[in-house]
A and B are shown apart, each in its own frame.
Chain A
């Protein structure tokens, strides 16, 4: 056991995970080894068609066997059909004991429960949003779920810590020689950013498409020389679950107040100047912050450099208006973003490696001025929990939270102080997802708490005069006054989830919930 730099007591070894590298601070682990990658192969002009009749044929051709590791991307989000279809096929072919390595799973993947129970799936390394997370929390998996950030995952792949045997890549458009595009087709999802490292490093790459078109495909995101086989199916997903129509700014006055407070803080800092770069999520508060910042940019005549991350219509419109020069897009959230990435050369697809991998010569998050992020909880040390809910269930992934927080000059967490009776500012978070050392401010409807490490920001906010400053202690006390003291989460000793920091060290673990 050792107390790590986030104050967590973590065993030196975890059954089903192995030896633990303890988290020692956000920039403490030096990179190791080389980029290596997949076996070399050759294809002569005697084979100019990579298509196979169905998923089972591709599984056979790929050499997939029990015990291997298979990967998926989550650009089809809750509309995805591909993960379930591949695991159904594996089950029918008698393949078992698989490690699945998706970038994320959603509600639609509840279907996998039967494959977990029957032993087709042994382990999940990836975000488990919703039902599979609940199942794991209740002890339904024999091996812990391993959570990695959007940057930590490509780090694990490119460094060889995780070897992908077969990558199954859902492709909204493909040609017979394996050029893939996310921008066109009826299942278009825009950027294929999360799939790039898998395409480049997996021992075998199978593309699954519902829009097979003549060679060469347009708007190529993943090129042919990474792709071994192409399978055409009726449908790779439900467009209604893949992209949202429009993402709306919240109208809730409390959330607007939080957003206004965050925007005031941004405007008070030296980062609010020509060339500002900016990332927000697609949530209601985040978009409202973007709306206030946009208004301030218009008013003061400020032009930004780039918008990063999950891209929404809001950012597309800001670029069209000239408020950003470029958009760097690892995930396109809505129809307008999907359309834009296919048409506008200033709307650039980036891979997760490019976006957030801490082990390369410089990822995009390092160039960020400001990021606005959410939380389920924050604590006295500014540690942030985005993984577990108040009842202790592991229901969310890390996303780019750790990466953007570490990379950005100004990292802002926006959260209501209370969700119902549940306090969001607490003495100590249940799970540390992002360490407080890379978090600069927590913004609530009861005021803005700036991390004491950032005296420069506190001074800037005081000088501006309109940022409602409070201390974290005050936020925690205010919350407790409303809620009363909380009982602890009751757990078993068994670890069901391992939360890696982006550098591959273990920042926290999640334990199995006690049966009620």
Chain B
């Protein structure tokens, strides 16, 4: 199973770990951190929007959050996905 990671646990950052999933399994997201209780919906939306824009349909995403805003979260998701794909851009 291939995985890739992006981010840190500095305040207002997060670590995003992505794991490849079989075709048709869809997107599953697991989140941890103090913001999840009040920003969980926003975090799910930011993650799904980013995956959609990258054309990813099947993936497992784990977010260890330490207060990242949507912009940071989106950037970490994108970086992790590109690393998983093996691109050098990340």
Q: Give A contacts to B, CB under 8 Å.
A: 389-392, 418-422, 482-487, 489
- Report B10-48 CB contacts with A as 1/0, cut-off 8 Å: 011000000000000000000001110111111000000
In the bound complex, CA of A391 to CA of B11 (Å): 18
Q: Quick one: given A483-B69, A484-B69, are A421 and B39 in contact (CB under 8 Å)?
A: yes
Q: Which of B35, B41, B42, B70 contacts A422 (CB 8 A)?
A: B35
**A511 → B minimal CB distance (Å):** 14
B39 adjacent to A391 (CB under 8 Å): no
* Contacting residues, chain B, for A422 (C-beta < 8 A): 34-35, 38, 67
In the bound complex, CA of A390 to CA of B34 (Å): 8
Verify if B68 is at the interface (C-beta below 8 Å from A): yes
**A415 → B minimal CB distance (Å):** 15
A487 adjacent to B68 (CB under 8 Å): no
Q: Which of B34, B37, B66 has the most CB of A within 10 A?
A: B37
* Contacting residues, chain A, for B11 (C-beta < 8 A): 420
Q: Quick one: given A420-B12, A421-B12, are A486 and B67 in contact (CB under 8 Å)?
A: no
B38 adjacent to A391 (CB under 8 Å): yes
A421 adjacent to B37 (CB under 8 Å): no
Q: Which of A389, A392, A419, A487 contacts B39 (CB 8 A)?
A: A487
B66 adjacent to A420 (CB under 8 Å): yes
A-B contact pairs, 13 of them (CB 8 A): A389-B34, A390-B38, A391-B38, A392-B37, A420-B11, A420-B33, A420-B35, A422-B34, A484-B39, A487-B38, A487-B40, A487-B41, A489-B37
Q: Give B contacts to A, CB under 8 Å.
A: 11-12, 33-35, 37-42, 65-70
Nearest opposing residue in chain B for A390, CB measure: B38
Nearest opposing residue in chain B for A513, CB measure: B37
In the bound complex, CA of A504 to CA of B41 (Å): 39
Q: Quick one: given A391-B37, A484-B39, A485-B42, are A420 and B70 in contact (CB under 8 Å)?
A: no
Nearest opposing residue in chain A for B36, CB measure: A391
**B45 → A minimal CB distance (Å):** 10
Q: Quick one: given A484-B42, A485-B42, are A390 and B37 in contact (CB under 8 Å)?
A: yes
* Contacting residues, chain B, for A420 (C-beta < 8 A): 11-12, 33-35, 66-67
Q: Knowing that A391-B37, A422-B67 are A-B contacts, what are 19 other residue pairs whose CB atoms are under 8 Å apart, sorted by A's residue number?
A: A390-B34, A390-B35, A391-B34, A391-B38, A392-B37, A419-B67, A420-B11, A420-B67, A421-B12, A421-B35, A421-B65, A422-B34, A422-B35, A422-B38, A483-B39, A484-B70, A487-B40, A487-B41, A489-B37
**A509 → B minimal CB distance (Å):** 19
Nearest opposing residue in chain A for B72, CB measure: A421
Q: Which of A418, A482, A489 contacts B38 (CB 8 A)?
A: A489
**B75 → A minimal CB distance (Å):** 15
* Contacting residues, chain A, for B70 (C-beta < 8 A): 484
In the bound complex, CA of A276 to CA of B11 (Å): 38
**B51 → A minimal CB distance (Å):** 19
* Contacting residues, chain B, for A483 (C-beta < 8 A): 39, 69
* Contacting residues, chain B, for A392 (C-beta < 8 A): 37
* Contacting residues, chain A, for B66 (C-beta < 8 A): 420
**B80 → A minimal CB distance (Å):** 19
A421 adjacent to B40 (CB under 8 Å): no
A421 adjacent to B41 (CB under 8 Å): no
* Contacting residues, chain A, for B37 (C-beta < 8 A): 390-392, 489
**A387 → B minimal CB distance (Å):** 16
* Contacting residues, chain B, for A485 (C-beta < 8 A): 42
* Contacting residues, chain A, for B12 (C-beta < 8 A): 418, 420-421
**A26 → B minimal CB distance (Å):** 29
* Contacting residues, chain B, for A390 (C-beta < 8 A): 34-35, 37-38
* Contacting residues, chain B, for A419 (C-beta < 8 A): 67
* Contacting residues, chain B, for A418 (C-beta < 8 A): 12, 67
**A101 → B minimal CB distance (Å):** 31
* Contacting residues, chain A, for B42 (C-beta < 8 A): 484-485, 487
In the bound complex, CA of A421 to CA of B72 (Å): 11
Nearest opposing residue in chain A for B67, CB measure: A420
Nearest opposing residue in chain B for A393, CB measure: B37
Nearest opposing residue in chain B for A481, CB measure: B69
Nearest opposing residue in chain A for B38, CB measure: A486
* Contacting residues, chain B, for A389 (C-beta < 8 A): 34
Q: Which of A390, A392, A420, A482 has the most CB of B within 10 A?
A: A420
